[in-house]
Amino acid sequence: MSKAAVISTGKYVPEKILTNEDLEKMVDTSDEWITTRTGIKERRIVSDGETNSTLACNAARDALSEAGMDPRDIDMIIVATFTPDRYLAATACKVQDMLGAVNSGAVDLAAACTGYVYGLSMAAGYVATGIAENILVIGSEVLSRFTNWKDRNTCVLFGDGAGAMLIGPSQGKHELEDFVLKSDGSGWELLSIPGGGSENPPSLESVSTDLHAIHMNGREIFKFAVSKLEWLIREAARLQGVEPTEIDKVVPHQVNYRIVKSACARLGMEPERFFLNLEKYGNTSGASIPLAFDEALDAGFIEDGDIVVLPGFGGGLTYGMASVRW
């Protein structure tokens, strides 16, 4: 069985920036509230003509160019997202077409904010079993098109963007080590888009009552996130045979700096071991881990030999982690 490794990484964010000051003009909020309650200062928003697939494609091209890989050598494209271009066909198929990855399979994966971790685990499984060798795992979201811009409880939190990793057989470094994949389905209604699926198909009423936007119980999700982030890091440490305080770096799903602060206090870990870029992008759900991982590498935050934990948590309620030995 071949071990899977991260061959290269990439990212793409739209150019348009929406600041907290811009939001002050749209809803009853303030830069002070958003900054102190979340840590977010601004987020990226797609412009006309940009879609989930264009973001995903740009992030994939970035990863392919770093690896010097021809798109025709890609065997599989996985797009983790809950904001696809369309429910049919899969965004991954559009990305395949745009890239010219003519020899690849293509599939979308719906596990909300934990989608990227699930995607990495699928890629590691494909490599281990020989089902596929060169796999693009992309996290891409256009949350701005599923946001109720009149709801201050949610609209200040989300942003658009994409991140990607090329996963392939290990050449001895940057190996994917352990995975934990979980879900607590009893909380499925705490974070959902009620309209647009087969339960509540689109109708004049569903549009007028904002059923097509993200609905969230922020307080409950906050509690869930803190407890699962702590638990996932304890699990990552247990699987590595070390104490949580010996985990070198964490690149978590980017939601709220207070979630990280609370989990750190419970674990006795320094917050400095956690890479955060949420002040620039907000919560980009399935895109947040690869977007942060790419920037953590560029910033020199991740060093050779580090054990790096990638924990995700969100809608479902799903949670999980992947660890990488850099």
- Which residues here bind ligand UT7, judged by CB under 6 A? 29, 33-34, 37-38, 113, 152-153, 156, 191, 216, 218-219, 221-222, 225, 255-256, 283, 285, 314
Smallest gap from Cβ 217 to ligand UT7, in A, equals 9
Q: Find the catalytic residue in 57, 93, 174, 253.
A: 253
What is the DSSP-derived secondary structure letter of residue 72?
G
Distance, in Å, from the CA atom of 202 to the CA atom of 91, rounded to the nearest integer, reads 20
CB of 313 to ligand UT7, least distance (A): 7
Q: Which amino acid is at 307?
A: I
In 3D space, the residue among 105, 193, 186, 183 whose CA is nearest the CA of residue 148 turns out to be 193
CB of 15 to ligand UT7, least distance (A): 24
3-state secondary structure of 32: helix
Q: Which residue in 113, 139, 143 sits closest to 44, CA to CA?
A: 143
How does 34-57 read in b/e, with b if 16+ C-beta sit within 10 Å?
beebbbbbbbbbbeeebbbbbbbb
Q: How near is the Cβ of 35 to ligand UT7 at its closest, in Å?
A: 11
Catalytic annotation present for 148: no
State yes or no: is 253 an active-site residue: yes
Closer CB to ligand UT7, 10 or 115, in the complex: 115
**Nearer residue to ligand UT7 within complex by CB, 168 or 314:** 314
Helix residue spans in 68-140 (DSSP H): 91-99, 115-129
Give the residue with the Cβ less far from ligand UT7, 135 or 225: 225
In this complex, which beta carbon is closest to ligand UT7, that of residue 244 or of residue 314? 314
Among 58, 134, 277, 283, the one annotated catalytic: 283
Residue 150 or residue 238: which is nearer to ligand UT7 going by CB?
Answer: 150
End-to-end CA distance of the chain: 20
The number of residues making up the chain comes to: 326
> Which candidate in 52, 57, 58, 113 is catalytic?
113
Mark whether 283 is an active-site residue. Answer: yes
Please name every residue paired with 162 in a beta bridge, in sequence order, or none if there are none: 12, 140
Shortest Å, Cβ 314 to ligand UT7:
4
Phi first, then psi: give them for residue 77, nearest 5 degrees.
Answer: -120, 125
**Min separation Cβ 146 and ligand UT7, Å:** 13
What are the tokens at 48? 């006309």
Nearer to ligand UT7, 10 or 252 (CB): 252
Which residue is nearest to ligand UT7, using beta carbons? 218
Question: What DSSP string runs through 73-84?
Answer: G--EEEEE-SS-
Residues involved in catalysis: 113, 253, 283
